Amino acid sequence: MPSPDALISWFDLTVDTLPETPLTSDETANPSFLTLLDEPPVGITQLKMRYRTIPLNRCGPKGWTYFPVDTDGTRLARVSYQSPQPNAYITAMVKLIDYEDGPETDTWSVSKYAIVTIDNLNAHGRVDLRDPNNPNTRRKVCIYH
């Protein structure tokens, strides 16, 4: 795994290069995040959004994955969201800043922007098995490199 400093540098560079994705209903200028969720683009799409405006519920009871802490306490976290569309996996990378070490609780603030990733290349929903009556069920597939 890369060092915490390298991860935070990657996050800062990516946030600086991506345009902010609006949540407006004015589709003439840019498609909004909500429109992208109705018909997600094929592939892996990264968007820059304000963290507090992401209109999705987190997955599971927690939905957070934490990355190692930097020397000043800053770290990245990945948040998993429930997708409104099947077979689309939505996560956000956020930077946790302003670290405070309390007696029983570690505290961070969430940075203003998140990098939202919509991935619909991987099927995260139902798994379909091949029909057992298909004559090709036992056909061997070879891939040469």
pLDDT for residue 135 = 63
Tens digit of each residue's pLDDT, the chain (145 residues):
678 888 999 999 999 999 888 766 554 555 677 777 888 878 888 999 999 888 888 887 677 888 998 888 899 999 999 888 877 889 999 999 988 888 888 888 899 999 999 988 865 444 455 566 766 665 555 656 5
Q: Read off the tokens for 53.
A: 């405006």
pLDDT for residue 125 = 47
Q: DSSP assignment of 10-65, as one string?
A: HHHHHHHHSPBPP--S-TTTS--HHHHHHSPPSSEEEEEEEGGG---PBSSS--EE
pLDDT for residue 127 = 47
Domain range annotation of the chain: 4-119
